[in-house]
């Protein structure tokens, strides 16, 4: 079903420049050419209307011209796909089966699999970017002209976010592996973006939107990691810029048809990226699936609509407790990420909907990229997102 883009009131994107998940929603609006205004939570309406409607202190939130408030960057993209301007040629969802499944997988990898590295480079190098971070956190909270008041507003919330490092498994033992994994990913992406402007080829997709979340606000905007990205992988830095531009000034590439690759093909240069996705996100998904199964087994009775979280509270990042797994020669201990399971489920749904011939092509791709075991993982019970939280379906 399609609805009409409101002619007068624009969409309002509630979020901030330094917010990881806002970056996904913003790039989607920009690339679809949908008029929108962006507002920070410092605006009085955030507390009065947005927070109340969403039931959580978080962003991004998309306020639609007809008065809906949509939280979650993935739900925002799903909604934007239903608008008139979301139909071809602006849809973010590849129309062929293997490309769609791969794009959804990369979407999830960006949003959850790369959260750890994004938070590491923001907070482990805090001393090198303290003033920037104070100003950026303050930008979301203080709208006045007093520079020191903005920095002070930022300082007041920064410790909350930097304290999330242990829960993400970021510590002195894991940091070398986190950095090596990221450097390998940058290298693979740099080669890919030398060949193509977008993840799935010549046209932007949901894969770019998931990946831009960590790659913009943290890794491509905070001073320390941005310098690393520019020095090591300038083609990735250029893609980050491209994702903020409405049309595609892709004149740096040889003449091309601005579409996904023909015949449901996956670019050869994307295969090393997928291999890293399975290697680096796979162990986390495996541990999270096991912790979900364990949690379900311990429930007295399972009922649809039950909140999937360690306690009964509504949380932006629900968890079922700590998990532990081996990864790149270290033991990672971190909070399980229920949201990552939901994103993995969305990718798997695309796999299960495939016709047999596509499944065969996907199987060959998984064999080449080491993804068979990861894609064979099964959630013990489907998750559902409703009323801005994750529930048992």
- Decide if residue 281 touches ligand GSH (CB under 6 A): no
Give the residue with the Cβ less far from ligand GSH, 60 or 86.
Answer: 60
Count residues binding ligand GSH (CB under 6 A). 13
Member of 5, 32, 58, 77 binding ligand GSH (CB under 6 A): 58
Give the range of 55-63, 172-180, 218-226, 289-297 binding ligand GSH by CB under 6 A.
55-63
Give the range of 1-9, 16-24, 91-99, 193-201 binding ligand GSH by CB under 6 A.
16-24
Give the residue with the Cβ less far from ligand GSH, 50 or 365.
Answer: 50
> Minimum Å distance from CB 12 to ligand GSH?
15
Member of 72, 81, 190, 264 binding ligand GSH (CB under 6 A): 72
For CA atoms 250, 255, 258, 262, give the dihedral sign.
Answer: negative
d(CA 220, CA 213): 10
Largest CA distance in the chain: 62
- Decide if residue 121 touches ligand GSH (CB under 6 A): no
d(CA 313, CA 28): 30
Member of 14, 59, 281, 292 binding ligand GSH (CB under 6 A): 59
- Decide if residue 150 touches ligand GSH (CB under 6 A): no
- Decide if residue 282 touches ligand GSH (CB under 6 A): no
- SS3 annotation, the chain: CCECCCCCCCEEEECCCCCHHHHHHHHHHHHHCCCEEEECCCCHHHHHHHHHHHCCCCCCEEECCCCCEEECHHHHHHHHHCEHHHCCCCCCCCCCHHHHHHHHHHHHHHHHHCHHHHHHHHHCCHHHCHHHHHHHHHHCCCCCCCHHHHHHHHHHHHHHHHCCCHHHCCCCCCHHHHHHHHHHHHHHHHHHHHHCCECCECCCCHHHHHHHHHHHHCCCCCHHHHHHHHHHCHHHHHHHHHCCCCCCCCCCCCCCCCCECHHHCCCHHHHHHHHHHHHHHHHHHHHHHHHHHHHHHHCCCCCCCCECCCCCCCCCCCCCCEEEEEECCEEEEEECCHHHHHHHHHHHHHHHCCCHHHHHHHHHHHHHHCCHHHHCCCCCCCEEEECCEEEEC
- Decide if residue 317 touches ligand GSH (CB under 6 A): yes
Give the residue with the Cβ less far from ligand GSH, 17 or 272.
Answer: 17
- Decide if residue 49 touches ligand GSH (CB under 6 A): no
- Decide if residue 21 touches ligand GSH (CB under 6 A): yes
Q: What x/- string results for residues 324 through 363 when contact with ligand GSH is judged by CB under 6 A?
A: ---------------x------------------------
d(CA 388, CA 93): 22
- Decide if residue 20 touches ligand GSH (CB under 6 A): yes
- Decide if residue 288 touches ligand GSH (CB under 6 A): no
Give the residue with the Cβ less far from ligand GSH, 123 or 193.
Answer: 123
> Minimum Å distance from CB 364 to ligand GSH?
32
Give the residue with the Cβ less far from ligand GSH, 32 or 339.
Answer: 339
- Decide if residue 81 touches ligand GSH (CB under 6 A): no
Give the residue with the Cβ less far from ligand GSH, 21 or 295.
Answer: 21
> Minimum Å distance from CB 227 to ligand GSH?
22
> Minimum Å distance from CB 59 to ligand GSH?
6
Residue with tokens 């976010």: 161
Residues that bind ligand GSH (CB under 6 A): 19-22, 58-60, 72-74, 316-317, 339
């Amino acid at each position: 079903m399609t609805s009409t883009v409101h002619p007068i009131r624009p969409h309002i994107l509630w979020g901030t420049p330094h917010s990881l998940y806002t970056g996904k929603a913003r790039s989607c609006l920009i690339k679809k050419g949908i008029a929108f205004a962006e507002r920070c939570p410092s605006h009085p309406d955030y507390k009065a209307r947005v927070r109340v409607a969403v039931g959580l202190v978080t962003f991004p939130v998309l306020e639609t011209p007809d008065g809906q408030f949509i939280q979650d960057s993935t739900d925002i993209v799903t909604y934007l796909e239903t608008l008139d301007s979301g139909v071809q040629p602006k849809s973010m969802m590849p129309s062929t089966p293997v490309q769609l499944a791969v794009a959804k997988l990369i979407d999830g990898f960006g949003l959850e699999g790369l959260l750890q590295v994004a938070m590491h480079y923001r907070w482990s190098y805090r001393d090198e970017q303290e003033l920037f971070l104070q100003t950026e956190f303050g930008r979301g909270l203080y709208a006045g002209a007093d520079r020191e008041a903005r920095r002070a507003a930022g300082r007041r919330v920064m410790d909350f976010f930097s304290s999330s490092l242990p829960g993400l498994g970021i510590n002195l033992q894991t940091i070398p592996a986190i950095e090596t994994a990221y450097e390998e990913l940058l290298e693979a992406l740099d080669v890919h973006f030398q060949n193509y402007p977008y993840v799935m080829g010549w046209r932007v997709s949901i894969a770019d939107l998931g990946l831009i979340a960590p790659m913009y606000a943290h890794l491509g905007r905070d001073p320390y990691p941005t310098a690393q990205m520019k020095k090591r992988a300038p083609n990735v830095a250029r893609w980050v810029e491209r994702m903020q531009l409405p049309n595609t000034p892709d004149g740096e590439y040889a003449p091309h048809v601005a579409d996904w690759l023909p015949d449901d093909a996956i670019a050869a240069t994307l295969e090393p990226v997928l291999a890293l996705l399975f290697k680096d996100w796979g162990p986390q998904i495996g541990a999270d699936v096991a912790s979900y199964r364990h949690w379900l087994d311990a429930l007295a009775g399972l009922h649809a609509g039950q909140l999937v979280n360690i306690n009964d509270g509504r949380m932006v990042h629900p968890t079922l407790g700590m998990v532990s797994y081996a990864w790149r020669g270290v033991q990672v201990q971190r909070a399980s990420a229920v949201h990552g399971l939901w994103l993995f489920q969305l990718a798997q749904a695309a796999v299960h909907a495939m016709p047999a011939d596509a499944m065969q092509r996907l199987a060959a791709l998984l064999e080449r990229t080491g993804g068979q075991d990861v894609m064979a993982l099964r959630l013990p019970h489907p998750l559902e997102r409703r009323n801005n939280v994750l529930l048992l379906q």
